Structure 1
Amino acid sequence: MREGKSARRRRWLWRWRSNPLRRHDDIVEAWLVLGVWTLVVLGGAVAGLVTAHAADEVFARQRAERHPVRAVLLADTPASTLATWGRGDRAWATVRWTAPDGTTRTGRTLVGTDLAAGASVTIWQDQHGGLTDRPTGRTEASLEAGFVGAGAALALTGAVVGAGAVVRWRLDRRRIDEWGREWALVGPRWGHKTG
């Protein structure tokens, strides 16, 4: 079993060993592979954590700035229909509420269906008294921040791996061209060509 590990290690580190057949491009490719893996592991982790933290701060700020307030429905809302099904049995309606500065405001927002005019509903307002969406809850915000962070890490990983693949492709093309030039010099010395 030790021989298998040793052979794998030698095969994996072949670009780093001193070898008369090792080309400059092999050394460049070895450093490139090391750099790509370092950026994927460390950069992906940092990008994911920073992005998740930033998203969590945005959700926390929304929870701090948005407040529920009681409003009065100004018109009847329709009964639940297929048209409102996609919004969780909610319909657009005009409501009236009091802003933090004491002024009475009117606006349109989504409320429950099958409500009569004059019914009391809960709406969400921002710190200036404008209508806004309900803020994301703590658990949902943590999940969303995690997904956003994972997406950032995957995006960075894809960009780094893609850039590394392009550079390796260019190195391969250069090596193939060098082999072609060398063969053009050495090939005629091998004697009679067939074909």
Structure 2
Amino acid sequence: MTRTPPTTVTPVRLWRWRRNPLKRHSDVVEAWIVLAGWLLALLAGVFAGVLAAGTSQSAFTARLSQVHPVAAVLTDGAARTPAAGSGYDDGRVWAAVRWTDADGSVHTDRAKVVPGAPAGTRITVWTNRSDRVVPAPVTGAAADLQSALTGALVAPAAGALVWGAGWLVRSRLIRRRMAEWDEEWKQIGPRWGNLSGGRG
């Protein structure tokens, strides 16, 4: 007894774009939705990424315009180790500083400095319009890098959101097509069975 070799099914690529007597209007619509979904996802990702990077860069520029550096001195020696439970440890410690504005007014505040720095050490601190010490702004290459990273993170998220919307539309089309096939089979199925019985 000879054994029949298994049949290999070769998938037909891009069948929705080829001439096919079995192809339905919904298949063509689905093909266009898939194409449009990928194109819109790509465009949305690029647009959102560029917009996010630009917004981030604008935020850095706006903050830089609201603060300015001043030369200050430590009024007391800095501790040699950070205080326990002081939160994020960047290797520096808090110390009292003093600086004088251009109009001669004297200000004091606390700033992070190198551990163990003696009193009288000169440092540069950033202050806001209320003459309070604030963290140094992100500038230069660091600002450019953070803006680029922001855009790189936002771009795929926006693209995935658009692609997901297209996938939902496509899923509804698939369910509709399956329902159409089911209705047609209910009509053709009984006749197909009668034809098979007649041949037997």
* TM-score, normalising length: structure 2: 0.75
Counterparts in 2 of 1:82 and 1:70: CA distance versus 1, 3 Å: same
The within-5 A match list for 1:1-195 is 11-12=13-14, 14-17=15-18, 19-80=20-81, 83=84, 87-99=89-101, 102-191=104-193
Say which is worse superposed, 45-54 or 140-149, in terms of deviation. 45-54
Separation (CA, whole Å) in 2 of partners of 1:101 and 1:87: 35
Q: What is the identity, as a one-letter code, of the residue corresponding to 2:184?
A: E
Larger-Rg structure: 2
The answer for unaligned runs of 5 or more in structure 1 is 1-7
Helix, strand or coil for the counterpart of 1:87? coil
The answer to whether the 8 A contact 2:68-2:128 is kept is: yes
Q: Residue by residue, what CA displacement relative to the aligned partner does 1:16-44 show, whole Å, maximum 9, x if unpaired?
A: 44544222321221221122122122222
Separation (CA, whole Å) in 1 of partners of 2:104 and 2:158: 48
Helix, strand or coil for the counterpart of 2:16? coil
Separation (CA, whole Å) in 2 of partners of 1:102 and 1:155: 52
The answer to whether the 8 A contact 1:99-1:129 is kept is: no
Q: What is the identity, as a one-letter code, of the residue corresponding to 1:21?
A: L
Aligned-pair Cα RMSD in Å: 3.0
Q: Residue by residue, what CA displacement relative to the aligned partner does 1:27-76 show, whole Å, maximum 9, x if unpaired?
A: 22122112212212222222222222222232233334432212233443
The answer to whether the 8 A contact 1:77-1:113 is kept is: yes
The answer for unaligned runs of 5 or more in structure 2 is 1-10
Separation (CA, whole Å) in 2 of partners of 1:45 and 1:172: 29
Counterparts in 2 of 1:163 and 1:100: CA distance versus 1, 3 Å: farther
- Percent of paired sites with the same residue: 41
Q: How far is 1:98 from its partner? A: 3.4
Q: What is the identity, as a one-letter code, of the residue corresponding to 1:29?
A: E
Instruction: Count the aligned residue pairs.
Output: 184
